[in-house]
């Protein structure tokens, strides 16, 4: 028995929303690990499924074709670290974490200090 092709009837992109399991998910673009990588954020449940962009105290590989550490770090700061600190982050594998914990503890992508008003 072989694999059957899956019919794609719709494409998703950054800013789109979709509903699954009774929850509305926002789609955010998080490139750097691979082109086109996205996360799915459900504000009501306070969860984000981020694939291999971010791990507990780590980040996804960026040495694969189309990967870039600088792009990944910028995307994490712009698309993941802007979620509420209590958001539970489910990576593609490994233990879950929270946005707040990663902003303070992630050695690869520390939160950028606030701009000084001096």
Q: Does residue 57 register a pLDDT over 60?
A: yes
Domains of the chain plus CATH, in order, are 17-105 (3.60.15.10)
CA distances from 70 to 45, 60, 62 (A): 30, 12, 9
Q: How confident is the model at residue 52 (pLDDT cuts 50, 70, 90)?
A: very high
Q: Does residue 118 register a pLDDT over 60?
A: no
Q: Where are the beta strands (DSSP E) in 1-118?
A: 17-20, 23-29, 38-42, 47-51, 54-55, 58-59, 88-91, 97-98
Tens of pLDDT, residues 14-49:
999 999 999 999 999 999 999 999 999 999 999 999
* 40-62 average pLDDT score: 97
Q: How confident is the model at residue 112 (pLDDT cuts 50, 70, 90)?
A: confident
For residues 7 and 55, give the distance between their C-alpha atoms in angstroms, rounded to a whole number. Answer: 31
């Amino acid at each position: 028995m072989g694999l059957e092709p899956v019919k794609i009837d719709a494409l998703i992109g950054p800013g789109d929303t979709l509903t699954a399991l009774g929850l509305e998910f926002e789609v955010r673009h998080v490139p750097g690990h691979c082109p086109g990588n996205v996360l799915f954020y459900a504000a009501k449940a306070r969860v984000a499924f981020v694939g291999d962009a971010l791990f507990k105290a780590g980040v996804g590989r960026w040495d694969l074709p189309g990967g870039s550490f600088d792009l990944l770090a910028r995307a994490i700061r712009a698309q993941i670290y802007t979620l509420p600190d209590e958001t539970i982050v489910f990576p593609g594998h490994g233990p879950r974490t929270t946005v707040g914990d990663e902003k303070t503890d992630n050695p690869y992508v520390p939160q950028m200090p606030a701009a000084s008003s001096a």
